[in-house]
Amino acid sequence: MNIIRRRGFPSDFCLLTPVFLFMSILPVVHAQDRTQTRSMVISDRGIVATSQTLASQAGAQVLARGGSAIDAAIAANAVLGVVEPESCGLGGDLFAIYWEAKTGKLTAINASGWAPQALSIEFLHSLGYKTMPQEGIQSVTVPGAVDGWSKLHQRFGRLPWKDVFQPAIYYAGHGYPVTEIISEAWGTEEAKLAKDANARSVFLHDGRAPRAGEIFRDPQMAAAFRLIADEGESAFYRGAIARAILRTSDRLGGKMTAADLSEFQSEWVEPLSTDYHGWKVYELPPNGQGIAAIEMLNILSLFPLSSWPARGVQEVHTQMEAQRLAYADLHRYVADMRFAKVPVAGMISMDYARERAKLIDPDKAAGCNVPPGKPFDVKGDTIYLSVVDRDGNIASLIQSVYQHFGSGVVVDDFGFALQNRGGLFDLDPAHPNALQGRKRPFHTIIPAFMEKGDIHMGFGIMGGLNQAQAHAQFVSNVVDHGMNIQMALEAPRFTRLSFGTCEFSVESRFAPDVLTGLVRKGHQMRVLGEFSESVGGGQAVIHNSATGVNFGASDPRKDGAAVPEPPPYFPRSEPRP
């Protein structure tokens, strides 16, 4: 049947018969009859939702000190770089959307770094590479996160720059207990980390990754954060950390220069948007994949999803087919718009969506090799976190070193990994995403925002190529089926994690008749666990501008939580003598 099931004992099987008998005797208690595992966090103060509880707590404490949503987002992101170092950190890139409650204005930043000027297709061919390397120094691009933090803080921060890094400095220096999912991910990269002397020394103790509950410290990373806290972003791009990055690169035969670092600047960008059944949904423009989420939603808006069963056969089939169409265009066209002509307006137009939607057969999957369309010429592992502060400002921020521990190269003396974003370039010189000096690669990480009337929502779901398709499924859950944000995050998802595969991965919580129905339509599927990291972990926050109440949700597929800002219920007291 083309279904591959993940083996394991069905832990809820023993509950089936007693629950069935009980329900056949007594009426259903609807207040307790729900599919989500957690309740939303609801507060009239701020909320921070991240993939690790210590980071959420740090952000909430920053809010309690009077910090803005951006202050809390930077603080939480910095802590995540310490406690979830395989996913993000100083060596990675960043994208963010900020909604200002007072003005209703959206601001967005692209803090993705470029390739070294001297890194070229010809140079990599001379080293024997036929495709972009996925590890090592030749996969490294300039890290953009620190510059992104700096520009966001200058514009929207309230607390002193130095203060927002104190939680990260504390955890890097004093240590923290490693959490479950992070420990498991860390353990899968022992061989990768062992290849680099610095990585082996910093991230492997006695040759292995830390287990869940073991204390991990990274005093070298603490030193890097202290320099950034004291000296600002210049420490990273022109100071001691920059010199360490260049020493590391030179030692390994890399091409990065002082100018590649010092001349890098993040870019303020205008979000793209679409109307999905009365909701305005925003994504960032290329070089990221957010445009594919918009194309998917435009196609899906032409089908009656709200009248179909949620996560039923017809809905999921249509979403999968929309994914094939949008991702074919994503792979063909998306690149750094400073170097390539990306048909953005055409890709997000409803006329184009109508043409693509005609290709969806309601009874049959399209197969493996769906060709890209021709958009009209219309003129006109990763972390995600979301924060809402007590004034209703929302930060939707995503940051990553790409694959686990990025390039696997850890910077001399400063204990953080450099990203391998260069691995997403193409070595075909005719492709829009072809490698070129000072060019940004195609990017997978995308933050998002949506609003309707008084409801304003920052959301995102991490996980490589999973992200745009996960965004579209989340939006459909909220809009078409009225799910709250926690329920929408937890609902079973599908994903297709590479451009070249036919196979979709689906969580086992899809009903058996749905899986069977999809196979009958010709879909090839791999069945995952109930809450699989393969379909990404997400966070979401809402501000209701009519009531002033905020809502937060955090995905159980990660180690995190949505944590509310603590109120000042304890009177300030003098310390005991």
Contact of 50 with 383, CB cutoff 8 Å: yes
Count, in order, helices (H) and strands (E) of the chain.
20, 20
In single-letter form, the type of residue at position 34 comes to: R
Q: Distance between CA 73 and CA 88 in Å, rounded?
A: 14
Structure tokens at 265: 């600047």
**Residue 341: Cβ-neighbour burial (10 angstroms; 0-12, 13-18, 19+):** exposed
Q: For this structure, is 382 an active site residue? A: yes
**Residue 103: Cβ-neighbour burial (10 angstroms; 0-12, 13-18, 19+):** exposed
End-to-end C-alpha distance for the chain, whole angstroms: 74
**Residue 21: Cβ-neighbour burial (10 angstroms; 0-12, 13-18, 19+):** exposed
Catalytic, out of 382, 444, 495, 501: 382
Helices (H), 302-428: 313-333, 344-347, 350-357
Say what angle helices 69-83 and 166-174 make with each other, to 10 degrees. 20
Q: Distance between CA 29 and CA 181 in Å, rounded?
A: 33
**Residue 530: Cβ-neighbour burial (10 angstroms; 0-12, 13-18, 19+):** middle
* Residues identified as active-site: 382
